[in-house]
Amino acid sequence: MTQPGTFEVHHRDPDSHARVATLHTAHGPVETPVFMPVGTQATVKSLTPEDVSGLGYPIILGNTYHLNERPGSDLIERMGGLHRFMHWDGAILTDSGGFQVWSLAELNQITEEGVTFKSHLDGSKQFMGPVESMRIQKELGSDIAMLFDECIPYPAEREYAENAVDRTLRWAEVCKEQPRAEGQLQFAIVQGGEFGDLRERCAKSLVDIGFEGYAIGGVSVGEPDELILPGVEASVSHLPENQPRYLMGVGMLDQMLEAVARGVDMFDCVLPTRIARNGSAVTRKGRYSVRNARWKEDPRPVEEGCTCECCRNYSRAYIRHLINCGEMLGYRLLSIHNLHVMGTVMAEARQAIQENRFTEYRRNFLATYSKTHPDP
């Protein structure tokens, strides 16, 4: 097995910053660019690990905060670690809990040592800082541990952003000193909000400390879409060419392809599985609501031309019926479809980069894509 953390760049696109590479982890290689399905509570909601690997995914996400709240990282450790606990042989990246500091902000109070917060489950007082987060992630035994960061909301004052960046950097030093699981990689997170110079300083400082990979954080936290790519550019341009870059939380197909063009290798997003449960389909033309009455008697699949289990076997009318009835099979089949689309588009992107036609591929894709598509 290749040393975990090895990042082999196989090919670079001549017309953009896109590249194809392999990231080696303790649980196998990950071909990039890659989308990682989110399995916050040790499950990609509604799917079995066999479903997820059957869709071609080599890596998923888990969440430090949630799994520590329930069932507890010590329990998972006693059960043999997160992989064994959930019966997933592929790689796992664990988010550090930093995002929850942001998304559960009303429940939290940030200090130098970490964050005191009220559990969203029972309201009890809890504490998590860089030391705790890394300890939990070690106990979970994930392949990639994210550093405990402070995600900056949008909008934010410059001074606020500056303080958050400084704290993220101090926490990064602490995280690096913590013990890890065997073969566990550490990815640092670039913050800075909409302030390009802060992102630059954050990126450079993190690189100086040195980690196996770098993430772009604080994106898709409510800012206008136009600010996403500038934030990516301001971060990526200061990250090493020979290490993986991970854009956290971004998962719309157009945004992902644009980010790939700017040199991003990894993505995660709750969108495909969440909107599946809320009745929407991801398609390569954009997303649409399968619940709409106009599909009531539509014999076509959810997406024409799609080869996923859902589209091969079931009509749009049937999926709409299941979703309308609140039947769990509907959530499951739509999740399968949505993840299939995410995965195949990433596979196509890798192929296109390999064949020096990524710019053309991206242009063609975006020409027929719109955020919400009226008639897929």
Partner RNA sequence: GGUGGGGUAGCGAAGCGGUCAAACGCAUCAGACUGUAAAUCUGACGACUUCGGUCUUCGAAGGUUCGAAUCCUUCCCCCACCA
- The token duo for 297 is 């008697």
H or E element, residue 215? strand 213-216
- What is the C-alpha separation between 106 and 26, in angstroms, rounded? 37
Q: Do the bridges between strand 266-269 and strand 245-247 make them parallel or antiparallel, or are there none, so unpaired?
A: parallel
Only one of the segments 49-57, 202-210, 323-331, 350-358 lies at the binding site for RNA (rule: CB under 7 A); that segment is 323-331
Of 22-30, 91-99, 300-308, 360-368: span binding RNA (CB under 7 A):
91-99
Beta bridge partners of 246: 215, 266
318 φ/ψ angles, rounded to the nearest 5 degrees: -70, -45
Active site annotation includes 268: yes
Q: Does 107 bind RNA (CB under 7 A)?
A: yes
Q: Judged by CB under 7 A, does residue 13 bind RNA?
A: no
| Least Cβ distance, residue 278 to RNA (angstroms) | 3
Residue 204 CB neighbour total at 10 angstroms: 12
Indicate which residue of 74, 89, 95, 197 is catalytic: 95
Nearer Cβ to RNA (248/352): 248
**Toward RNA, which CB reaches closer, 364 or 372?**
372
Question: Residue 126 is which amino acid?
Answer: Q
Contact call for residue 366 and RNA (CB under 7 A): no
And the tokens for 77?
A: 């450790």
Cα–Cα separations (whole angstroms), residue 145 to 19, 32, 96, 321: 23, 18, 7, 41
On whether the CB atoms of residues 351 and 259 are closer than 8 A, the answer is no
Q: Which of 17, 291, 357, 373 binds RNA (CB under 7 A)?
A: 291
| Annotation says 95 is catalytic | yes
Contact status: 373 vs RNA (CB under 7 A):
no
Residue with tokens 């902000």: 105
How many beta carbons lie within 10 A of that of residue 363, not counting itself?
11
Residue choice 11, 120, 176, 284 for contact with RNA (CB under 7 A): 120
Q: Does 143 bind RNA (CB under 7 A)?
A: no
Q: Tell me the catalytic residues.
A: 95, 268
Q: Which residues bind RNA (CB under 7 A)?
A: 38-40, 44-46, 61, 63, 66, 95-96, 98-100, 102-104, 106-107, 120, 146, 149, 151, 189, 191, 215, 217-221, 225, 248-252, 255, 268-271, 273-275, 277-280, 289, 291-294, 296, 324, 326, 328, 331, 372
